[in-house]
Amino acid sequence: MKKLGVVAFGGNALIVNKQKGTIDEQEENAYLTCERLLVLINSGYDLVITHGNGPQVGNIMLANAAGEKLYGVPEMPLDISVAYSQGFIGYVIEQQLRNVFRENDIDRDIITIITQVLVNQDDPAFQNPVKPIGPFYTKEEADRISQASGAKFAEDPRDRGYRKVVASPRPLVIYNTKTIERIAREGQVVIAVGGGGIPAYYKAEHKLQGIDAVIDKDHASALLASQIGAYRFFILTDVPKVCLNFNTPQEKTIDRMNIAQAKRYLKEGHFSEGSMAPKIRAAIYFVEHSGRDAIITQTTLLGVDDGGTRITIV
């Protein structure tokens, strides 16, 4: 019986640090990431791909703001920008994965599903925005934008600058999971929950409506993986393994940890909110709700024995 894997592409799957994010750059990066999926496919996995959208959705919002200021084009809210990003990122991943498949004589359909995710409008996250989106700014640039627009910024834990932060409510319900699972288990590749999903809430009993937020991609991916019975949950990032005391002389890589250890390290503050902490929480959620392993690693180590950090139930 084939195994179902959920692979969460990190932001660097399309835009590598210090790149401008041109379409040529994003297509090349997507191709290289998709090539690594062959390791899983050849190991007997059916796949669901999820992806981040932090740089892209931030750029979409900048373009929206410029369009309104210069040409009077109505600015779209954040949930619509997330939907935009799902469509174009899904297209890029689908196209490049299809190129990889053709070069390797693999005949599978690849389907991008625009995914809404239910959140609670009273989630405390709306009072404490922490989710970084968009490009990096200097402190002076961030202060100037904040004074002009009221936007909130936070310093990057890896000293790359300041990024705008928005609310990141907890995902409650992912729509169309039955269809996502069925298509994936039929052997086709599904791209879903892009950017954590389009955040929506019930304004009234039968009225679903979008809301300004960006759901954490890893948390939403973990919820999806547990709901569709995934055998393994892979979180791709730009470091080979999870580290304690990251970026200090005491830095230590972790090959394997159980959820009790992961929770303790989280509590001790080893993982920053703008970087590894959401990935650790997502891994814990999946392992707790499925009893199966999660792996955090970089793209080049996907499917490699002892590659990445494995999070286990015990």
Active-site residue set: 11-12, 131, 217, 279
How far is it between the farthest Cα atoms of the chain?
Answer: 58
Give the Cα separation of 161 and 55 in Å (integer).
Answer: 14
Other Cβ atoms closer than 10 A to 126: 17
